[in-house]
């Protein structure tokens, strides 16, 4: 198994559907992230889990609901999405930061992304 | 407002020549900068980084330069190879931000044989 795996790779859903994106990391990391990449926009940080606790929720609408049951798995539950939520959703993992100068390289390991289309 | 900007959406370079990708930032608290590379249908992969205590970091064909007074960094690739064709993202983080990176919009590099 390689690094960070995301499923499904492609998802098409209606606005009334409920679906979930899954991410699994095999790198022994203890921090996981959801990023969103919309067309012609920078990657936007959505959620961060460090040591299985959510440490960041970047003003994301409640129709996106993350879940981190353990340090290897991360989910993004989706419900009543809007067409403008169509984007590439990227999961990443890293070692949990130990503070500046504590060996934190800032390097994230990304999955291949889940391409979401909301009709 | 974007705190990290890559003003050139694309760059075309001949094989063997130098590629220079630029990035500007506005947040003076940023103290760690990274470049990621992304091929189509793949996630971004880490390329090279630099701490604000340095002004240059080199790794093989890749060199990152940091100009703190101008809040500008650049990635130099020399010599450029066709396999370098990808989208390059600049990212930054501040003290106590851990790995919560702020990304630029990316520059698509095309290296022509």
Alpha-carbon gap: A86 to the closest alpha carbon of chain B (Å): 16
Phi, psi of A19 (to 5 degrees): -140, 170
Q: Identify the weakest region by mean pLDDT among A50-54, A68-72, B39-43, B71-75.
A: A50-54
Which residue matches tokens 């979930």?
A: A20
Q: How many domains does chain B have?
A: 1
CB A23 within 8 A of CB A6: yes
Chain B residues whose C-beta sits inside 8 Å of any chain A C-beta: 2, 4, 31-32, 34, 36, 41-46, 49, 89, 91, 93, 95-96, 98-106
CB A90 within 8 A of CB A34: yes
CB A6 within 8 A of CB A95: no
DSSP, res A72: T
Structure confidence by residue, pLDDT tens digits, A55-103: 776 689 999 999 999 999 999 999 999 999 999 999 999 987 654 444 4
Can you give the CATH number for the domain in which B79 is found? Answer: 2.60.40.10
Mean model confidence pLDDT for chain B: 94
C-alpha distances in angstroms, B99 versus A44, A85, A109, B58, B72?
13, 24, 11, 22, 20
Which structural domain range is residue B40 located in? 4-112
CB A109 within 8 A of CB A94: yes
Interface check A100 vs B, CB under 8 A: yes
């Amino acid at each position: 198994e390689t690094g960070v795996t995301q499923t499904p790779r492609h998802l098409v859903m209606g606005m009334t559907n409920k679906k979930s994106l899954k991410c699994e990391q095999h790198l022994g990391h203890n921090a996981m992230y959801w990023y969103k990449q919309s067309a012609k926009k920078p990657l936007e940080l959505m959620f961060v889990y460090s040591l299985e606790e959510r440490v960041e929720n970047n003003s994301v609408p409640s129709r996106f609901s993350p879940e981190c049951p353990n340090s290897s798995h991360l989910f993004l539950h989706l419900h009543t999405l809007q067409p403008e939520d169509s984007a590439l959703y990227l999961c990443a993992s890293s070692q949990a930061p130990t503070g500046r100068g504590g060996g934190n390289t800032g390097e994230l390991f990304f999955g291949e992304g889940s391409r979401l289309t909301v009709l | 407002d974007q705190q990290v900007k890559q003003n050139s959406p694309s760059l075309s370079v001949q094989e063997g020549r130098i590629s220079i990708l630029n990035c500007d930032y506005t947040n003076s608290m940023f103290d760690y900068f990274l470049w990621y590379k992304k091929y189509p249908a793949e996630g971004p992969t880490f390329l090279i980084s630099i701490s604000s205590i340095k002004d240059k970091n080199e790794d093989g064909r890749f060199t990152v330069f940091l100009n703190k007074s101008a809040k500008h960094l650049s990635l130099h690739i020399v010599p450029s190879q066709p396999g370098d064709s990808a989208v390059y993202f600049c990212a930054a983080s501040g003290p106590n931000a851990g790995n919560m990176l702020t990304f630029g919009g990316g520059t698509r590099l095309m290296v022509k044989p």
